[in-house]
Amino acid sequence: MAEQDGGIKLVGNVDVQSDDQEENNNMDLRRGPWTVEEDFTLINYIAHHGEGRWNSLARSAGLKRTGKSCRLRWLNYLRPDVRRGNITLEEQLLILELHSRWGNRWSKIAQHLPGRTDNEIKNYWRTRVQKHAKQLKCDVNSKQFKDTMRYLWMPRLVERIQAAAAAGAAASSTTATTTYHINNQSNTNLNMGHNQILLPQPNNIGGGVHTYTPENSAPPHPRNRLGRRFLT
């Protein structure tokens, strides 16, 4: 850790270095929270050149970030289709079910939750689910905990989802649409004992190309829920 720059740490020797020049270039790599200018730079570069080849992208875009950092920022925050906000009941149920199948395969689980990132799901699991395991004084991988999930929480979630759907249908019979469909459509079918919930396939990733500038448009997600963003 070499220096602080308004909360941004500057570091050297990140990832593999093969020659002196690259080593020197990396001496002023930035770490820590992304600024709004960096976000715009990354968004605009990807809009014009596409994503991938993250190390060369970082260099070509003039970002003093590692390729990894650019990739993570794009995938977890700047992508147009990233979905923000609370994890819904349907999503909670899906996470529980898919985790029971695949364990900590966060990226695989995320593929089945459109707009959600593996990081977000991982955070959800660690903060909410593991907290419950702690309260029950059992290991999150124990049979006791898994049984509690499967036979207590998941049926409860299904009930809440169905209750919410019924309430929504009663409130609005014309405009209500839901991304998730219970017991009546195709898509991924998860069997929950007596209850079944049918789940959507992942949305297409990527979508259209957008150009953002600080002057004429806001970035897709100017602030997080905590109001913590965009150091300048």
Partner DNA sequence: AAGTGAATCAACCGCCAGGTA
Partner DNA sequence: TTACCTGGCGGTTGATTCACT
The contact set with DNA (CB under 7 A) reads 7, 11, 14-16, 18, 30-34, 52-57, 65, 67-69, 71-73, 76-77, 104-108, 118-120, 122-124, 126-128, 131, 224-228
Supply the minimum distance, in Å, between the C-beta of residue 20 and DNA.
Answer: 12
Distances (CA, A) of 189 to 1, 12, 180: 49, 49, 11
80 versus 168: smaller Cβ distance to DNA: 80
Cα distances (angstroms) measured from residue 122 to each of 129, 167, 206 = 10, 31, 22
Q: Residue 69 Cβ, how far from DNA at the closest point, in Å?
A: 4
- With a CB cutoff of 8 Å and minimum separation 6, the contacts of 141 are none
* CB 126, min distance to DNA, A: 6
- Rank residues 134 and 156 by Cβ distance to DNA and give the closer one: 134
- Closer to DNA by Cβ: residue 69 or 93: 69
Q: What CA–CA distance (Å, rounded) separates 163 from 215?
A: 45
Residue 164 Cβ, how far from DNA at the closest point, in Å? 20
Are 49 and 62 within 8 A, CB to CB? no
